[in-house]
Chain A
Amino acid sequence: MKKKHSLGYWLMFVLMTLIAFVSFFPFFWMFLSSFKTQSELLSMPPTFFPNNFTTANYTQVFKQMPFTRYYINSLLTSGLNTLVGVISSSLIGYVFAKYDFPYKNVIFLVVLACMMIPYETLMPTVYKMMVGIKWTNSYKVLTIPYFVNIFGIFLMRQFYLDLPDDYLEAAEVDGCSQFEIWARIAMPMANSTTSSLVIFLFMASYNSFMWPLISVDSRKLFTLPVGIASMIWDRGNQYAMLLAAASMIIVPVCILFAFMQRKFIEGMTSGGIKG
């Protein structure tokens, strides 16, 4: 029997479609416009589909700046930051959730309090520290400060708090060491929350602009956001080229999200539906 949907269902359907369209439209426009010439892009009235389809913007991006280098820098640093960030968040969150030690709650409160300080206010201090230990202008400065993420710790701790101790005790009786319990039982069970964290950490590092901007001078170390900004400083607002670069930049994020979408949504909703 065909299920009849209520008016509310259809209203919701229309609303969701509208939201999806509004969210997706800028990306679609960006992608189409990356095939327009600069003059067509700035013409009035504006065009939606390109009149003179051109791929020159894409080739120019690679010619006018070391785009591949920026891309590799971004992928490498974001990849490493995400990998280490996920492991550290999971380990630290696990310890806060499952171990008892003196002043645990006070320490956790201090850690949480750090989340309330805007990063911009910490930046000068961290920068001075990096200068002091001679880490500026290196891959170290683009990675190591990202290795510990407070939100990540908080997210993982919340998951592990809900994880019944029986699983961990079963693993302990089965012969696992404390590290093995985390690595072989707790961490795989946190799969969906970890997927959310992977996306979150990757985006945070991949989109990061201010920190790479102030901590790195050498163009060889520029990441994509800084690289694109440098293109504007060097050559002014070449919007068509900028849109071509932006269209290429979003590819890894789209791929990551496509792969992790199901787990990501599970992770975001798991707190609410868990029995």
Chain B
Amino acid sequence: MATVTLKNIRKVYPKSHNTNKSNLKETADGVLAVDDFNLEINDNEFIVLVGPSGCGKSTTLRMVAGLEEITGGELYIDDVLVNEVAPKDRDISMVFQNYALYPHMTVRQNMEFPLKVQKKSRDYIDKKVEEAAEILGITEYLDRKPKALSGGQKQRVAIGRAIVREPKVLLMDEPLSNLDAKLRNQMRAEILKLRKRINTTFIYVTHDQTEAMTLGDRIVIMKDGVVQQTGTPQEVFDSPHNLFVAGFIGTPQMNFYDGRLVEDKGRYHVEIKDMKVALGKEKTERLKANGVKSRDVTVGVRPEHIVLSEGENVLRSVVDVSEMMGSVVHLHVNVDDQDSIIIVPTIQLKDRSLVKSGAEVDFTFPEDVIHLFSKETGNNLEY
């Protein structure tokens, strides 16, 4: 267990370095992979770094591991500055995306390896390996070579090798991305169980927002080397600070519409095409506090918050395709050449003809689920 503090962490690759990431900002020193990363990770916390590929999440993790030099800023593990400390002296373990199991060693030898390097006694090593193997359910594979294991088993061994040392911080770099969907769900649950059994601080990197939402105590959303938002899964889902976070978190992703925010005598309403939605008290107060005036905005609404409606004050759309998911139906609709997704619980779908292509669907959304983003900066106007 340990606290990890990242203060103004920065990573710049020299221009000759082959990063293959065209989205990254170039500076006079080179390509900026991570910029001004600040985070305080608490003891025993599970932090997930999430973002699209090339956003700097793995680079940040590798800097914590000591595998990547830190260009600027300070990294503390338990209040000890570790910028210049070698990986082996940081008391961390890491699980790699492609397992990185040593192919010439058996499962047991793989798991023993970090303890052997530390020159622990034979009895201690055996005890720790047996314990870890039991936690992960791989006792029967201990004498096999990695090539004789399935992907899921290999990943368990990789986790086993990481936990036998009882590290202060356990780093995981997209550990489930090589597994198929079913196994990934299963392993996700196992990581949650594992987390309860071992006392350590987790830093987990993934590009999969579902993994991030289900595993993390807090998640850090990154884009182009910059932290976009840090918060609990609920916070980032309910209150995305910008368009990127709003679009990245949630499946299917949030719908966006061009609209106009109108302030009239201390009250706000949003106009989208012919529809007007008056904003509630809480939103009004936040907008007022930020001094927001009438302006063009991007309105974001999650597909599951849209309600089918009839009458005048609605958005009119035409169904392109529909996907029956069992308990819900995903309607892909078209509002004046703009695509939207509506999630409708099957039980509420009285008129089954609505799911057919070409069907006309009218919808609206409640005032409290609307997110308002600046057209210029993409930032949420409420925060």
Segment of B71-79, B97-105, B289-297, B355-363 in the binding face: B97-105
Contact of A172 with B67 in the complex, beta carbons under 8 Å: yes
A172: nearest chain-B partner, CB-CB: B87
Given A170-B96, A174-B114, A175-B117, answer yes or no on A189-B102 (Cβ-Cβ < 8 Å). yes
B97: nearest chain-A partner, CB-CB: A166
Is A60 an interface residue, CB under 8 A from the partner?
no
Partner of B100, one of A166, A175, A176, A177: A166
- Nearest 9 pairs of A and B residues by beta carbon: A170-B100, A166-B100, A175-B117, A174-B114, A175-B88, A188-B104, A173-B94, A166-B96, A173-B87
**Other A-B pairs, 19, CB within 8 Å; known A174-B113, A176-B88:** A164-B100, A169-B65, A169-B67, A169-B96, A170-B94, A170-B100, A170-B102, A171-B102, A171-B113, A173-B65, A173-B67, A173-B87, A173-B88, A175-B114, A177-B88, A180-B117, A188-B104, A189-B103, A189-B104
17 contacts between A and B (CB under 8 A): A166-B96, A167-B102, A169-B65, A169-B67, A169-B96, A170-B94, A171-B102, A171-B113, A173-B66, A173-B67, A173-B88, A173-B92, A174-B88, A174-B114, A175-B88, A175-B117, A189-B103
Chain A residues within 8 Å of chain B by Cβ, number: 17
A170: nearest chain-B partner, CB-CB: B100
Contact of B98 with A174 in the complex, beta carbons under 8 Å: no
> What residues on A are CB-neighbors of B100 within 8 Å?
164, 166-167, 169-170
Chain B residues within 8 Å of chain A by Cβ, number: 22
> What residues on B are CB-neighbors of A138 within 8 Å?
none
> What residues on B are CB-neighbors of A188 within 8 Å?
102, 104
What residues of chain A have their CB less than 8 Å away from a CB belonging to chain B?
164, 166-167, 169-177, 180, 185, 188-189, 191
CA distance A8 to B93 in the complex (A): 54
Is B223 an interface residue, CB under 8 A from the partner?
no
Looking at A171, A172, A173, A176, which has the most chain B CB atoms within 10 Å of its CB?
A173
Is B161 an interface residue, CB under 8 A from the partner?
yes
What residues of chain B have their CB less than 8 Å away from a CB belonging to chain A?
65-67, 86-88, 92-94, 96-98, 100, 102-104, 113-114, 117-118, 161, 165
> What residues on A are CB-neighbors of B98 within 8 Å?
164, 166
Least CB distance, A164 to chain B, in whole angstroms: 7
> What residues on B are CB-neighbors of A169 within 8 Å?
65, 67, 94, 96, 100
> What residues on A are CB-neighbors of B92 within 8 Å?
173
CA distance A189 to B105 in the complex (A): 10
Least CB distance, A248 to chain B, in whole angstroms: 36
Partner of B118, one of A164, A172, A175: A175
Contact of B102 with A185 in the complex, beta carbons under 8 Å: yes
> What residues on A are CB-neighbors of B65 within 8 Å?
169, 173
A168: nearest chain-B partner, CB-CB: B100
Least CB distance, B14 to chain A, in whole angstroms: 10
> What residues on A are CB-neighbors of B97 within 8 Å?
166
CA distance A191 to B165 in the complex (A): 28
> What residues on B are CB-neighbors of A180 within 8 Å?
117
Least CB distance, B316 to chain A, in whole angstroms: 53
> What residues on B are CB-neighbors of A185 within 8 Å?
102
CA distance A107 to B118 in the complex (A): 36
Least CB distance, B5 to chain A, in whole angstroms: 20
CA distance A213 to B237 in the complex (A): 81
> What residues on B are CB-neighbors of A175 within 8 Å?
88, 114, 117-118
CA distance A180 to B66 in the complex (A): 17
Contact of B117 with A174 in the complex, beta carbons under 8 Å: yes
> What residues on B are CB-neighbors of A191 within 8 Å?
104
> What residues on B are CB-neighbors of A174 within 8 Å?
88, 93, 113-114, 117, 161, 165
A191: nearest chain-B partner, CB-CB: B104
> What residues on B are CB-neighbors of A170 within 8 Å?
94, 96, 100, 102, 161
> What residues on B are CB-neighbors of A167 within 8 Å?
100, 102
A176: nearest chain-B partner, CB-CB: B117
> What residues on A are CB-neighbors of B93 within 8 Å?
173-174
> What residues on B are CB-neighbors of A164 within 8 Å?
98, 100
CA distance A166 to B88 in the complex (A): 15
> What residues on A are CB-neighbors of B102 within 8 Å?
167, 170-171, 185, 188-189
> What residues on B are CB-neighbors of A189 within 8 Å?
102-104
